[in-house]
Chains A and B, each alone.
Chain A
């Protein structure tokens, strides 16, 4: 089954404790992206990747890092999480090297930073 898998689905942690949210897709997609969803603000793009070893900033990249060492994986790293990063995070993937195609989304990771 074609899917985007995120882990963990839920995480409560404390300020400053480094964390990684993993994202994996089994569709051989070149394009992958991370979004955060906040009430009243909709979805905002954090980082995206057009292909292996190619990453670029989205609209709200501050406080986040990503890497794309393999095609299927695109982890999101919070080196020193802060309460304003409490949010619902989504990973997505798509065909082609540009987001002009439909994207497949994971089921989300709800992060709470205390």
Chain B
């Protein structure tokens, strides 16, 4: 079953701008993860945020989690052409299964 749903489905921005991607989910979670997938490659883990955390940073990435709204956002600051990829949120719930959303396609124009 699909748990996380990302929004928007596609995003196109200029290099240097910030990119914000959102993920909503339906049931309670243990944690939420964000992954990146470059074209033709496997997924790469970006960041994990636990259900008792509200915000987490890693380099140019900032993730927030609002469990009351069952939503998370991924902010990429000062985007680069190399950030062009698909981004997925994935949730782990009580059944300990990791469930992925359908992904967001981010295009960063040079």
Contact = CB atoms under 8 A, between A and B. Distances in A.
Interface stretch (A13-21, A36-44, A62-70): A36-44
B42 A90 contact: yes
B25 interface: no
A90 B37 CA distance: 12
A99 interface: yes
Q: Which interface class (under 10, 10 to 19, 20 to 34, 35 or more) fits A?
A: 20 to 34
Given A42-B101, A45-B98, A59-B1, A102 B45 contact: yes
A106 interface: yes
Contacts of A44: 2, 100
Contact of A42 (B44, B92, B98, B103): B103
Contacts of B31: 100
A63 B105 CA distance: 30
Contacts of B96: 98-100
A100 B2 CA distance: 17
A21 B42 CA distance: 15
A28 B98 CA distance: 20
A42 B97 contact: no
Contacts of B2: 42, 44
B33 interface: yes
A45 B93 CA distance: 14
7 contacts: A41-B102, A43-B43, A44-B2, A44-B100, A99-B92, A99-B98, A107-B42
Given A42-B101, A59-B97, A100-B96, 20 more contacts: A33-B98, A35-B100, A41-B102, A42-B2, A42-B100, A42-B102, A42-B103, A44-B2, A48-B97, A59-B1, A90-B42, A99-B98, A100-B30, A100-B31, A101-B48, A102-B48, A104-B45, A105-B44, A107-B42, A108-B41
